[in-house]
Amino acid sequence: MPTTARPTLALTAGLAALLLAGCSGGGGSAGGGSGFAGAVPDRAQGAATSSPTPAPPPTGPYVALGDSYTAGMNIPPQIGAPGACYRSGANYPSLVAKGLSLAPGQFTDVSCSSARTGDLTAPQKVADGTNPAQLDALTADTRLVTLGIGGNDAGFMEVVTECAKENLVDLVKGVITDGGDRSGKSPCRDHYAAGNGTDEVQRKVDAAGDRLGRVLQDIGKRSPKAKVYVVGYPGLLPADPAGCLPVLGNTVALSDLAFLVEKEQQLNGMLKRRAEAAGAVFVDLAGPSAGHDMCAGEDRRWVEPPLPRRGMTPIHPNAQGQEAAAGVVLKVVKG
């Protein structure tokens, strides 16, 4: 019992800490979130051929918006104010700016842990101060925007935490009533089921999409010449939940791990649809992160597990994950 209960207790504790600190934490055409039109090639005027002329990649000024998955929570060096935004100088926006050879004055990172879409248009209070409304960093001169948001609006980390709790309760009940047999069990899915075809999580995702659509319209008004790339969320769990057995044991039912995979796919799917509807470029991180989820080996994972490496945040990207995300974003931005 102690050896099987420990992973779930760790998961619950890790996710509770995560909720206090920030989110997982975002649609468009290349990953998670929404943005405005990406590079659409201009056709050469008067040329003998109809071959498109590639548009040059966007340059600065570049503004990075988002939650803790963008900020790079607890990844050194932690920079900027307020400190409780947990913004890293090695997060993917910083690495993208470096990859585009932008001068310091051409790059502004206002991402902040725990951010929701409402914190893009209004100040966000954190433990040691207030992060100004993120969209206030945009100007008519802004030419590049990355946006990673939506997970907190959808309450995704709360769902993960609730799943851990539901499975812990079910585990204790099972030991008492059926000797720990968990076959066919899905306490988390049962908890969120609405019985009408749309569960509570899906309703939150849909509501988050409505708010995100309005944010994207606002970005277009503030920075009409900017190319906006909405960056999705990397995969937290493997497509085959059985791959997590070495990390989580059997304390979280495989059917509930599958439920969490489904919910993250719904979140990223919403972001992609909203980005495309706004004419944005969606940057997909879920696909490239396959095999690099929190249950992968320490040398391969891009997201930390419930028991993370020292100093890292549970269920959040590590430095390797931020570097990988930057590579994906740069590839899309450069076309």
pLDDT along the chain (335 residues), means of 10: 36 40 38 32 41 72 98 97 97 98 95 96 97 98 97 84 74 52 70 70 91 97 98 94 82 82 94 97 97 94 91 94 98 94
- What CA–CA distance (Å, rounded) separates 299 from 310? 15
Going from the C-alpha of 41 to that of each of 55, 213, 225, 333, the distances in angstroms are 5, 25, 15, 13
Type of residue numbered 2:
P
Q: Domain for residue 220, yes or no?
A: yes
Count of alpha carbons within 13 angstroms of residue 131, beta-carbon side: 30
The reported pLDDT for the residue numbered 185 is 67
Type of residue numbered 264:
E
Q: Domain for residue 78, yes or no?
A: no
Catalytic-residue membership of 292: no
- The one catalytic residue among 24, 29, 68, 88: 68
Closest CA to 9 of 167, 147, 159: 167
- The one catalytic residue among 34, 111, 292, 316: 316
Tokens of 33: 């979130």
- What CA–CA distance (Å, rounded) separates 329 from 26? 13
Judged by DSSP in three states, 150 sits in: coil
Q: Domain for residue 75, yes or no?
A: no
Catalytic-residue membership of 316: yes
- What CA–CA distance (Å, rounded) separates 263 from 265? 5
The reported pLDDT for the residue numbered 25 is 39
Q: Domain for residue 89, yes or no?
A: no
Pairing of strands 62-66, 144-148: parallel
120 C-beta neighbours (distance < 10 Å), count: 27
Task: Give the domain CATH number at 305.
Answer: 3.40.50.1110
Q: Domain for residue 77, yes or no?
A: no
Burial class of 130 by CB neighbour count within 10 A (0 to 12, 13 to 18, 19+)? middle
The reported pLDDT for the residue numbered 159 is 78
Q: Domain for residue 61, yes or no?
A: no
Owning domain of residue 19: 2-37+143-334
The reported pLDDT for the residue numbered 174 is 53
pTM, two decimals, is 0.80
Give the total number of structural domains in the chain.
1
